[in-house]
Amino acid sequence: MSIKYENLDTLKAFKELRAVETSVDLKEELTRERILRYSAPAGGGLTYNYAAKAVNDEIVGILQKLSDEQQLVAKYKEVLNGEFINTGENRKVLHHLTRGQLGSDVTFEDKNLRDFYVEQQNRIREFSSKVHKGEIKGSTGKQLDTVVQIGIGGSDLGPRAMYLALENIYDVEMEGHFISNVDPDDANAVLGRLNFETTLFVLVSKSGTTQETLANRNFVLEKTRQAHIHGFNPSKHMVAVTSETSPLAGSDEYLDSFYMDDFIGGRYSSTSAVGGVVLSLAFGSEVFDQFLAGANDADRAALELDLRKNAALMDAMIGVYERNILGYGQTAVLPYSQALSRFPAHLQQMDMESNGKSVNRRGEPLNYQTGPVIFGEPGTNGQHSFYQLLHQGTDIVPLQFIGFKDSQIPFDLDYEGSTSQQKLKANLVAQIVAFAKGKEDKNSNKNFAGQRPSSLIYGLQLTARSLGALLAHFENKVLFQGFVWNVNSFDQEGVQLGKVLAKQVLAGGDAMDEALKAFSDLLEI
Amino acid sequence: MSIKYENLDTLKAFKELRAVETSVDLKEELTRERILRYSAPAGGGLTYNYAAKAVNDEIVGILQKLSDEQQLVAKYKEVLNGEFINTGENRKVLHHLTRGQLGSDVTFEDKNLRDFYVEQQNRIREFSSKVHKGEIKGSTGKQLDTVVQIGIGGSDLGPRAMYLALENIYDVEMEGHFISNVDPDDANAVLGRLNFETTLFVLVSKSGTTQETLANRNFVLEKTRQAHIHGFNPSKHMVAVTSETSPLAGSDEYLDSFYMDDFIGGRYSSTSAVGGVVLSLAFGSEVFDQFLAGANDADRAALELDLRKNAALMDAMIGVYERNILGYGQTAVLPYSQALSRFPAHLQQMDMESNGKSVNRRGEPLNYQTGPVIFGEPGTNGQHSFYQLLHQGTDIVPLQFIGFKDSQIPFDLDYEGSTSQQKLKANLVAQIVAFAKGKEDKNSNKNFAGQRPSSLIYGLQLTARSLGALLAHFENKVLFQGFVWNVNSFDQEGVQLGKVLAKQVLAGGDAMDEALKAFSDLLEI
């Protein structure tokens, strides 16, 4: 099959979708039969339920045609097989390969890249095991019990969200911390809490030139120096995660270096060494292996052509329907699990940085909307916060609920006839139904219009495996949507201009743009 | 002057605003002169700059007419003077009174409410001082060094955001933690880190009936019981913050009780006892006093009729212009200060719960958009995340930047010719200009359209005083916008239906709605 990259609005199925006249009345149609039927496996033990989305069999049928016509699964296979999908930067897109071989062998410059990723995993496994066993100790002879990731963007958000998601269900071998912002208050605050003698820093920058990260490395080195610890050698307390060609690679300044490459985008790097080092050190490499296995399982589930059996594809296509037909501009991600407190922030990057684009893969301007704004907070907290607007505001915001049957920590208590976990789940279910069905009230201030669509991803428990699947589900959803919109989901040219201008400000001088200079004066830079 | 509550679309000035044909080309017009002139004092040492907003003198002039016609400052004075502004619930709105007397005396049932709030502040001052001095100790005789707030929504988001904003600039008398979610993993995780003998819990619920909060209290009591600490008495380790009529008030189960009343909305309660107890215990009451003074200063600044001299009013009116004329559906809040990491989450509640309404104060449906979606993360982190969409996505998202000249912690380092704080500020300035002016590039993938509006609130340093002013600025902005849209910003009927349905799920039985039952079965409730 030859692969064609076409704009959404040129597709026959999209015209058909635009012409659909039926609509779904969730008040009437949200039956048990529908709830059982509108369900797709997401891999890793997760299930995606879309019964409370405003789609029906007719719409789903056309979404299937659209998926087929836009060759979404075939394009996904191109990714898996190592095609240069990231056209702007002429790069392969290989985060799937970090967690398993699903397509043909991928080689680059005579190197089998699956072997390369596995080699790094093995090196991480061995390294973290030595640290845990005390075979590698701090420079003053103490057991290393704390790991601090220094990185920003994809080197921070994903690994941090994953760490928080797992810290309460597994034995913590090493307590994790994160330094990301160039704001000196960030590094100062974290460093103030550490015992340097027992701390291992993980410096993460693919290029080895990320300004914020290098400034924070500098901070760490100076702070450890100023601590005047007898016999302390900072090079024995820092490892680098970078590309093999970066200035950080293999430097004597680091205890060791672990590698990813240009084919792993920052926002897709949690399953590479970027997530692997910190998570293996924190929880042990067995936990990280389960995380990879879960992601791989979801990647496999995304190969299915029938979107009724492919959760990521269905999620993607319903999102396109909501964005381009119903005109909704944002999506709220609402995990009913406190452990997922930073998962929405990670998805915010993954989705918005991937598909927040206005030109297609050939650089031509698009005539339709692409990626939505993503935001979210854990339930039940969000219920006491922004749900008011979601229920009764003037805009409809599509919702993605996430829930689990069991809590991570087994201890629970009955209070007024139910446990906390039961209350948590009851609230989740109640919200889905409240948003969908609403409630009429003669007092219009107490009236709920309903018809506010939501989906639910659920599983037995949030473990490393289901977390991996959850992550990969959203990665693949975003990938499919990028192909539907015909954008390059894997570059981020939009971040460049700010970097260039910030350098101009720091360089100073008369050549600076008038507005830059005037604002710089206000802030006394 | 008689006060009239009219819908926005009935106002003469709004029709005039709709008819405006000029637009602002930020590429051309963002001059030094404009940057210096488009500036308004926000109180507490803060300044609001709107030079990079897409308004000009003509539009600002009409916004002034709109403000006057809708009697915004007069309505604000009604709030200050204790009118029953929250009509749906027949309540006064008195969070301003917790930080100073700006209007006439406010009495209710023969009680002067300013005296009441001051009395609570004095009681908190005395109590926290005794705890700090060791005059009040834990039940086993140990100094209390940790404070844990148990609350949700407004009893959590605001106080938590304020705690994080201040913990690195002041001496921490007691380390703060927060338990909010009914998810048992939340309470378990926090409680697992505590030494109960040195911990004081602050139970916060205005009604005394918040289900999540009472379930978490139960958790705390059982966990402390199971710890089998000899001589431990939980009633000596918990205080209540509640209304005087609540079941928690004055109970023997608590060491002490501090009070707010029905006239303090949860999302506006950080300056009441809800924020006062935990922040005074954490940092000392002098710090909390400065926080109140800053808020009061911003409240005072918001009394100015001329919106060019009233930052909250200008911010509100530009927001209305962006929402109802330009059609933007969301606002991103971008603090260039890691200490404000949870401030956007607090604003998300404050704004979306206040103005996410579809009916006016009389309960009549509205024909125009009201409150936008609010989201945000600290810069520079956000730059490496969702800024891609903000720069090059298909939707325009108005931006609110926040920045400070100095960091909170004085230690900083030069790296490659600039300190971290300089880099932070340079990035902030660069982003404002990049969003406004864009950059043309023949490669359309590297092209920045610009014309993306932002404002900047800035001050010398994030302290208790400037934080109070920042908080009050946004509270007053939201209040003004609520009056423009003619909604009741102080109720939250949209949260009720979910509560009712959750109770039905927990009660179980055959009477349950079919959809509730089917989803409950999926999650095995």
Q: Minimal CA–CA distance to B501: which of A392, A437, A385, A31?
A: A437
Q: Which residues of B touch A413 (CB under 8 A)?
A: 184, 215, 218-219, 222
- d(CA B238, CA B213) in angstroms, rounded, equals 13
Q: What is the pLDDT of residues A424-458, one digit of tens each?
A: 999 999 999 999 999 999 999 999 999 999 999 99
- How distant is the Cα of B254 from the closest Cα of chain A, in angstroms? 19
SS3 (DSSP) at A454: strand
Q: What is the CA radius of gyration of chain A?
A: 24
Please answer whether residues B92 and B84 qualify as being in contact, where contact means their C-beta atoms are separated by less than 8 angstroms: yes
Contact A515 B433 (CB under 8 A): yes
Half-sphere exposure of B97 (CA within 13 A, CB side): 29
> Is the preceding peptide bond at A380 cis, omega within 30 degrees of 0?
yes
Q: What is the mean pLDDT of residues A60-76?
A: 98
Query: Any idea which architecture A95-286 has in CATH?
Result: 3-Layer(aba) Sandwich (3.40)
A chain contacts of residue B186, beta-carbon cutoff 8 Å: 338
> CA–CA separation, B333 vs B315, rounded Å?
13
d(CA B365, CA B363): 7
Superfamily name and number for B26-85+302-491: Glucose-6-phosphate isomerase like protein; domain 1 (3.40.50.10490)
- What average pLDDT does range A135-144 have in this prediction? 98
Nearest CB neighbour to B522, from listed A49, A189, A411: A49
Q: Which of chain B's residues have a Cβ under 8 Å away from the Cβ of A215?
A: 413, 415-416, 420, 423
Catalytic residues of A: 353, 384, 499
pLDDT of residue A392: 97
Confidence of residue A250 (pLDDT cuts 50, 70, 90): confident
Is A385–B157 a contact, with Cβ atoms under 8 angstroms apart? yes
Question: Can you tell me the distance from the alpha carbon of B138 to that of B196, in angstroms, rounded to the nearest whole number?
Answer: 9
Give the catalytic positions of B in this structure: 353, 384, 499
Is the CB of A517 less than 8 angstroms away from the CB of B32?
A: yes
What are the distances in angstroms from CA B203 to CA B48, B142, B249, B273, B455?
36, 21, 11, 11, 38
Tokens matching residue A253: 């300044």
Dihedral (C-alpha) A362, A367, A370, A373: value to the nearest 10 degrees? 130
**pLDDT tens, B237-276?**
999 999 999 999 988 999 999 999 999 999 999 999 999 9
pLDDT at B509: 83
Residue-level pLDDT at A301: 98
Q: Is B179 helix (H, G, I), strand (E, B) or coil?
A: strand
pTM: 0.98
pLDDT band at A1, cuts 50/70/90? low
- B146-150 and B199-204 beta bridge pairing: parallel
Which residues on adjacent β-strands are paired with residue A243? A260
Choose among B462, B295, B308: nearest CA to B378.
Answer: B462
Residue of A189, A403, A445 lying closest to B363 (CB–CB): A445
How many angstroms separate the CA atoms of B434 and A504, rounded?
12
- Answer yes or no: do A409 and B357 touch at CB < 8 A: no
DSSP symbol at B62:
H
User: Which of A56, A68, A55 is closest to A13 using CA atoms?
Assistant: A68
Which residues from chain A sit within 8 angstroms of residue B355, using beta carbons?
A: 389
Where do we find the tokens 């399953």?
A: A271
CATH 3.40.50.10490 in chain A: give the residue spans.
26-93+302-488, 95-286
Domain span(s) for CATH 3.40.50.10490 in chain B: 26-85+302-491, 95-288
CB-CB under 8 Å, B384 with A445: no
A388 contacts on B by Cβ (under 8 Å):
352-353, 356-357, 492, 494-495
Model confidence at A245: pLDDT above 80: yes
Q: How many CB atoms are located within 10 Å of the residue A249 CB?
A: 16
Tens digits of residue pLDDT in A203-232: 999 999 999 999 999 999 999 999 999 999
Distance CA B440, CA B448 (A): 6
| Lateral strand order in the sheet of A238-243 | A175-179, A146-150, A199-204, A238-243, A256-260
E runs forming strands in B252-345:
256-260, 330-335
Identify the pLDDT of residue B113: 98
Token pair of B381 as six digits? 């982190």
Q: Report the distance separating Cα A436 and Cα A78, nearest Å.
A: 38
Side-chain half-sphere of B503: how many Cα atoms within 13 Å?
Answer: 7
Task: Give the bridge partners for A332, in sequence order.
Answer: A375, A399
Contacts of B373 in chain A (CB under 8 A): 330, 373, 375, 386, 389, 395, 397
Instruction: Please give the pLDDT value at position A511.
Output: 81
The set of residues, in sequence order, having a beta carbon less than 8 Å from that of A103 and lying 6+ positions away, is A77, A80, A81, A82
Q: Indicate yes or no: CB of A49 within 8 angstroms of CB of B446.
A: no
Please check whether residue B257 is in contact with residue B251, taking contact to mean a CB–CB distance below 8 angstroms: yes
Mutate to test the interface with A, among B39, B181, B334 (most CBs of A within 10 A): B181
Q: What is the mean pLDDT of residues A49-56?
A: 98
Query: pLDDT digit of tens for each residue in chain B (525 aa)?
Result: 699 999 999 999 999 999 999 889 999 999 999 999 999 999 999 999 999 999 999 999 999 999 999 999 999 999 999 999 999 899 999 999 999 999 999 999 999 999 999 999 999 999 999 999 999 999 999 999 999 999 999 999 999 999 999 999 999 999 999 999 999 999 999 999 999 999 999 999 999 999 999 999 999 999 999 999 999 999 999 999 999 999 999 889 999 999 999 999 999 999 999 999 999 999 999 999 999 999 999 999 999 999 999 999 999 999 999 999 999 999 999 999 999 999 999 999 999 999 999 999 999 999 999 999 999 999 999 999 999 999 999 999 999 999 999 999 999 999 999 999 999 999 999 999 999 999 999 999 999 999 999 999 999 999 999 999 999 999 999 999 999 999 999 999 999 999 999 999 999 988 889 999 999 999 999
- Residue A509 is classified by DSSP as S
Q: Write the DSSP string, A187-255.
A: HHHHHTT--GGGEEEEEE-SSS--HHHHHHHHHHHHHHHHTT-TT--GGGSEEEEEETTSTTTT-TTSS
Bridge-based pairing state of the strands B46-49 and B39-43? antiparallel
CATH superfamily, with its number, for domain A26-93+302-488: Glucose-6-phosphate isomerase like protein; domain 1 (3.40.50.10490)
A44, HSE (Cβ side, Cα atoms, 13 Å): 32
pLDDT of A88 reads 85
Between CA B249 and CA B243 the distance in angstroms is 7
Position B1 scores a pLDDT of 67
Q: How many CB atoms lie within 10 A of CB B209?
A: 12
Distance CA A222, CA B310 (A): 44
Q: How would CATH label the architecture of B95-288?
A: 3-Layer(aba) Sandwich (3.40)
Interface test mutation site (partner B, options A53, A90, A383, A388, max chain B beta carbons within 10 A): A388
pLDDT bin (cut points 50, 70, 90) of residue A67 is: very high
Q: Determine how many CB atoms are found less than 10 A away from the CB of residue B511.
A: 8
Reading across the β-sheet that carries B330-335, which strands appear in turn?
A: B39-43, B46-49, B454-459, B399-404, B330-335, B373-375
Separation of alpha carbons A102 and B238, rounded Å: 56
Kindly determine whether residue B182 and residue A330, on different chains, have CB atoms separated by under 8 Å: no
A424: its two tokens: 């948590």
Beta-bridged to residue B66, according to DSSP, are none
Cα A451 to Cα A391: distance, rounded to the nearest angstrom: 10
For B307-333, the pLDDT digits (tens) are 999 999 999 999 999 999 999 999 999
* Contact state of A430 with B186 under an 8 Å Cβ cutoff: no
Q: How far, in Å, CA of A432 to CA of A452, rounded?
A: 9
Q: Cβ–Cβ of B387/A488 closer than 8 Å?
A: no
Of B364, B369, B430, the CB nearest to A395: B369
